[in-house]
Chain A
Amino acid sequence: MHELSLIHALIDTVVQSARENGITKVTKVKLVVGESHGALPDALQFAFDILTVDTVCAGAELAIEKNALLLKCRECAREFHPEGYLFCCPGCGVSNAALVKGNELYVEYFEGE
């Protein structure tokens, strides 16, 4: 959904950190995206290719790690991966779950020279 603005923030982060660390060419950026963000890898890649032009990230590889949703039922404490859009607990059937994993959105690292 916000692939362009997410990648914009990613590039700002990497460019800033590259400058601080004396890196003039970034070769790889590792991004971790939770399923809950609904960010599409193709759209992220597209935005990355466009927005890195004329930056130290130009031509760098974008590695995307997607984290699946993991929920914990507030009723019976069971942890589960939801199927489709329903967040019903497979144990007790109640739909009242807290997010354990899948809401991540961060640059894990970048590589450069």
Chain B
Amino acid sequence: MSVDINEMKHGSKMKGTVSKLRIIVGRDLLHANAGRAVENRALLDKNRVVAVNLISSPGSGKTTLLEKTAELLRGKMSIGVVVGDLYTARDAQRIERAGVTAVQINTAGLCHLTADMVGRALQEMPLARLDILFVENVGNLVCPAAFDLGEHVKVALLSVTEGIDKPAKYPGIFREAAATVISKADLLPYTDFDLPACLGEMRQINGGQQVFVTSARSGQGLDRWCHWLGQLAGDNLPPVEAGGSYTGGTGG
């Protein structure tokens, strides 16, 4: 995690008071990240761009979902992608081949993206002409959930080949997600994945979220997913003055 020393100094001056030898601090340790996230959200709001933070295990199909989404939204909405990986620019290259502006962030080993990294990537994005910005987070179900990047919604992916236990084992991200995309549904007949049981458990973990059962290969469920994205970008354009999170809603 990067820490902005200048912000730190500013904050502690504001909140620190001397009481004998006990110094009251009372400031959030993720303060630097939270501050940068607020800046990112303000920049996105100013450009009327909705940002979606895509979080899942490695190999669940984030890049493939984005390739297919770009295909389906072509001519309807303009999308951009910030891609986070430990190393290589392979995912950004794949997404660019789908005709989408992509900026790769290499974290060089760090297990999640931070608001500062995304903020720097936003400088390279043509925000004025985008409707939706996807942030493809580092493949990891734990750490990315803790870092606000300035997004408007978090979306979790769960692939059929991972089994149905992931939401129960890693509830943090599934609880915070406005939507979960179940991917690789074309493989359902070849696995023991119990879809009704999975959907039941997801409802217990987060009853307010949207769930999309999809297959990028067959196209199943992608229309509903794209429709939801359209609502997010169109009906719910973020107000200029404030960010805030969408919490799901009833449509889709």
Report which A residues bind B (CB closer than 8 A): 1-2, 5-6, 8-10, 12-14, 16-18, 20-21, 23, 36-38, 74, 85-88, 94-96, 105-113
How many angstroms between the C-alpha atoms of A107 and B175 in the bound complex? 26
> By the criterion CB–CB under 8 Å, are B29 and A106 in contact?
yes
> By the criterion CB–CB under 8 Å, are B21 and A88 in contact?
no
Known A8-B1, A13-B12, A36-B172; contact A112-B21, beta-carbon cutoff 8 A: yes
| B contact residues around A109 at 8 Å (CB) | 22-26
A-B contact list, 15 entries, CB within 8 Å: A9-B30, A12-B3, A12-B8, A13-B27, A13-B29, A16-B5, A17-B23, A20-B16, A23-B21, A36-B172, A87-B205, A94-B207, A105-B28, A105-B30, A107-B25
CB of B167 to closest CB in A, whole Å: 8
Contact residues of A: prevailing secondary structure: mixed
> By the criterion CB–CB under 8 Å, are A85 and B168 in contact?
yes
> By the criterion CB–CB under 8 Å, are B204 and A95 in contact?
yes
> By the criterion CB–CB under 8 Å, are B8 and A107 in contact?
no
| B contact residues around A18 at 8 Å (CB) | 23
| A contact residues around B29 at 8 Å (CB) | 6, 9-10, 13, 105-107
In the complex, B13 has a CB within 8 A of chain A? yes
> By the criterion CB–CB under 8 Å, are A37 and B146 in contact?
yes
In the complex, B208 has a CB within 8 A of chain A? yes
Known A20-B12, A111-B22; contact A1-B28, beta-carbon cutoff 8 A: no
How many angstroms between the C-alpha atoms of A108 and B18 in the bound complex? 13
In the complex, B155 has a CB within 8 A of chain A? no
> By the criterion CB–CB under 8 Å, are A21 and B172 in contact?
no
| A contact residues around B207 at 8 Å (CB) | 94-96
CB of B27 to closest CB in A, whole Å: 6
Residue of B nearest to A112 (CB): B21
In the complex, B203 has a CB within 8 A of chain A? yes
In the complex, B142 has a CB within 8 A of chain A? yes
How many angstroms between the C-alpha atoms of A88 and B207 in the bound complex? 9
Residue of A nearest to B114 (CB): A5
Residue of A nearest to B209 (CB): A96
The 4 closest A-B pairs by CB, nearest first: A5-B1, A95-B207, A107-B25, A85-B171
> By the criterion CB–CB under 8 Å, are A86 and B25 in contact?
no
> By the criterion CB–CB under 8 Å, are A17 and B205 in contact?
no
How many angstroms between the C-alpha atoms of A109 and B22 in the bound complex? 7
Residue of B nearest to A108 (CB): B26
In the complex, B32 has a CB within 8 A of chain A? yes
